[in-house]
Each structure stands twice: as C-alpha cells, then as structure tokens.
Amino acid sequence: MHHMRADRNNLRYAIIGAGMSGILAAIKLHQHGETQIAVFEKAAALGGTWRDNRYPGLTCDTPSHAYSYSFALNPDWSGYYATGVEINAYFTKVAADFGIMPLIRFNTEVLSCRFDEGQPVWQLGLSTGERMEADVIIVASGVLHHPNLPDLAGLASFRGKAFHSASWDDSAILDGARIGIIGGGSTGTQLVNALSRRAARVVQFQRSPQWIMPVPQFPYSAAEREAFRKDPALMEAIRNDPQYWANIYRFTDGLTDFTSPQMAEIEAICRQNLEAKVTDPALREKLRPNYPAGCKRLIYSWEYYDCVQRPGIYVETGKIETMIPAGVRMQDGTLHPLDVIVLATGFKADQFIRPATVTGRNGLTLDTFWDTRPTAHYAVTMPGFPNLFMLNGPGSPVGNFPLIDIAERQWVYIEQLLAPLRARHAVAVEPTRAAHAAYEARRIAAARKTIFAAGCTNWYLDKTGIPGTWPWGYQAFAEAMAGPAAEEFHFIPATDSGARKQSTWESR
C-alpha cells in the first residue's frame, strides 16, 4: 500500500484507533503540517466508544461543553449533558471539518507492531495482510473497549435476546418487554433510567449498590444555542464554570487519600441524595452502599432514584443461580421471567492495544512488559518501546473527569518528545528504565492510598488489587503534562546518515 510515501523529510505516523484520542492526534499532526499520517481503525466507522455503545439512555456524564475538544467547541449540544448519539455525530463532524477523514483506513486492524532497531523503524502488520512502516506510533485504542462477559450458568439456554451493553442488538423489542439488566455501573444505571419509560418490567440485578451523585440536567433552548454560536465565550464560560471545577477538584484532591474530608463530603452529598429521594425504606437499604463513595466510579445522575421507584422496576439483590429458557432463577428460588437480558457488566480494562502484539527493542513484548500490570511512564511512554506514545493509556486519570482534556494535555507532553525527532536531532526516544521504575514505584505507593483502593470492586484495580490509575490530583496531572523531564528520557541521536549508532541504546 502505501499512501504513506517515502518522503523522508517527514516522519511517518501510525495512529491506532479513530476514537476521541486518535482523532485528536490526527488533527494535531495534520495541523502541524505532517504529511505522512495513517489512522488505522478496525471498524467501519469512527467514534470508538461512542460508536460501539448505542444503548438506550447513553449519556456522557461530563458536561457537553467540557466534553468537547478545546479547538472545536460545539454550539449545538442539546443540553448540559449530551447523548451518545450526538457525541458520535460530533466526532464525525469534527473529523470531516478538520480534513482528517482521508487519513483514516477503516476496516483495518493493526495486528502487530515490531520495532526494528537497525533502522530504527516500527513494522506494522495489518489485518488486510499488508505490512507497513512507521517512525512513530500513537496508540489511541481506548481502555473500556473489550466487553467483560460474565460466566453466567445457562445463558445459552435463554430463549430471549441476551447481549452485552456495548454490542446492542437492534432487533430486541424493548417497548412493553420484560427486561433484565445485569450490572449497576454507569451503564446499567442509565439503562434502568431509559427502560423504565419503555419496558413493562425492568429487573436490575444488582451485585453491589452504587453511590449516586445528584447533578443537574437541562436542555439548551434554540435561543441559547444561537447565543453559543454568536459568542463562543459563553461556551468557554461553561467549560470553565468554577462550580464544575470545584466539584472536580473536590474529588481529585480528595481521592488521593481515602480518609480525606473531601471524600467524606462527597459521601455526605450522595447519602443525603439517597435519604431524600428513596422513600421506600426497604428499597433504600437495598440501594445503600457499604463501601466509601468514590471507590467505584461515582454515578452522576439526575434521575436514577426517580426511575428506579417507578412501577414495574425491581431491584434484585439476591444471587443468580442460573439463566433458564424463560429468564433467570435466583438461588432463593425466585423466578424472573424475561424477554431481554442486557449484560451491563463492564469491560476488561487491562487490555489496551491488545490483542495486537507489540514487540519493542531486543524482542521485549508488551505482554512481558505488562506481565504484572499495564504500566507506562506518566501513562504515555514505555522503556524498550521507542517512539511509541499512548493517549489515555495505563495509569491515566480516570474517574469523573473530562477525558478529552486528559488526551489534549497528554498530547502537549507527547509533542515535546516528538520535537527532537521532527528536528532530526534524534531518531528515537524512550524513557529510561530507571526513571520509569522510580515513577511506577511512586505511583503504586500513592495508588494504594487512593479512594479506589478503599475496599470495593471496580475496574480500576489491576490483578494485584492496586488501582491502575493516576493516583494524584488533577492539578498534579496538569503540571506533569506541561512538559516531560528531559533527564528521564533516552534520545538516540541521529547520525549524518540518519541511522542510529548501535552503542547508543540503553542496554538491558
């Protein structure tokens, strides 16, 4: 193939994934004047999580004007929180507006990446059978992408439709149906809300209750949208709303220590919400969590407690024994006859770019490097994997933050590492093993004290039980992303011929 021509004045960039992060990288490189950019997207359309998730009620719980690229504000958002459908349309429009559609190779999965030290260059193997070379890889393959499919006895025997929330079956009839929802995270909760208006009966199978943070939701009127269009400062004001940021900081400053007053304050708000909104004492106790608020990702909702109290909505807290052809049988013998079962059971958050195989220097594979847990230097780079940069990779901030802002800040950091490569002062860059080891030790020590480690199950925890997240506050993240510490990186200088010198790699 090669729409990446051998123009050696410009670096060749391979971006993996055309979701929020990959589109960002493509736009930034394109705007910088880079001419050799290929975005590999395994699906037939862009949008990542917003393409995959099409479940009824899908809404982003970051305010719409904050969940927008800083350089592409959108006056047309329908309300304070936007729906998944309009967010997906937004990414499609932005990609077109910024001229990056021709750079995306749809239906093309990257199966392997192998670093050839002799050149140096990354060799990519594609699902089309093609091979291609890239100087730089931007991994933007997402974190919540691979569905976690629970091992539920008898599921295959169920006569109705059963599917994961991220693989919605459009042929399932919802109106007037009896629907079971397994899981009570952000997804399960939003499903209960939407289906409480459509189904004859909803049974939410709740293994653990969730803390619900009350938030406002309201539509933007045509007049408001017109005002946003005429005066983008109004949208900036919403993005920078001090109240919104005060809430973010309360959470991010508090999360670093699960005994912090901020987390206690957050829990008090959630508890007050539960006490005030849920009138039936038995239901209230079913919905009362027994772990600290913020340990699982907080559910932001303006309507869950209203919806779950509607007629026909039932919260089942017992243990599932087995699925049967007609529905679900509980261990206490209760039968729930159902037409549809939605598995809102979350994602395998430790996969990242995998199952693609990534082989760095000296044959080091990503599976080996990530044997204990996925790890990256400041969530972006990895020793042994030169010229490979991740957006929203392992150890990125997660929780109730605007992930677009995270990716934009990570891009600022990445660009500074790219600068010497672009200037041809260096042909490769990677963090030193010592710098990364010291960073990861600090990160793990801090992560153990965070609210995510306060004694609950959540998708942040790695297989050793340590949160795989950014464990410091948001401000600390912003400061870290302002610029990489040069001494933590190893640059391979360019020779006159542009090739590397054997001796200059860090030995291992």
Residue numbers of the site for ligand NAP (CB under 6 A)?
59-61, 144, 150, 182-188, 190, 207-208, 297, 344-347, 457, 459
Q: What is the closest distance, in whole angstroms, from the C-beta atom of residue 165 to ligand NAP in the complex?
A: 6
Please choose, from the candidates 160, 40, 18, 165, the residue with its C-alpha nearest in 3D space to the C-alpha of residue 94: 18
SS3 per-residue string spanning 289-330: CCCCCCCCCCEEECCHHHHHCCCCEEEECCCEEEEECCEEEE
> Which of 160, 399 has the CB closer to ligand NAP?
399
Shorter beta-carbon distance to ligand NAP: residue 40 or 305: 305
**Closest approach of Cβ 82 to ligand NAP, in Å?**
10
DSSP 51-90: HH---TT-B-SS-TTTSS-TTS--TT--BSS-BHHHHHHH
Select 106 or 291, whichever has its Cβ closest to ligand NAP.
291
Residue nearer to ligand NAP on the CB measure, 47 or 484 = 47
Distance CA 406, CA 383 (A): 22
Q: Say if residue 404 is exposed, middle or buried (CB neighbours under 10 Å; 0-12, 13-18, 19+).
A: buried
Residue from 345, 376, 349, 296 nearest 143 by CA = 349
Tokens of residue 493, six digits: 């200088």
| CB of 375 or CB of 392, closer to ligand NAP | 392
Which CB, 48 or 183, lies closer to ligand NAP?
Answer: 183
Peptide bond into 120 cis (omega under 30): yes
**What is the total residue count of the chain?**
508
Distance CA 490, CA 10 (A): 22
Both tokens of 325, joined, read 């052809």
213: its two tokens: 């943070």
To ligand NAP, the closest distance from the beta carbon of 162 in angstroms equals 13
Residue 437 beta carbon to ligand NAP: minimum distance, rounded to whole angstroms: 29
Shortest Cβ distance from residue 101 to ligand NAP (Å)? Answer: 26
Task: Write down the least CB distance from residue 279 to ligand NAP, Å.
Answer: 24
Which of 160, 346 has the CB closer to ligand NAP?
Answer: 346
Question: What's the closest the beta carbon of residue 298 comes to ligand NAP, in angstroms?
Answer: 9
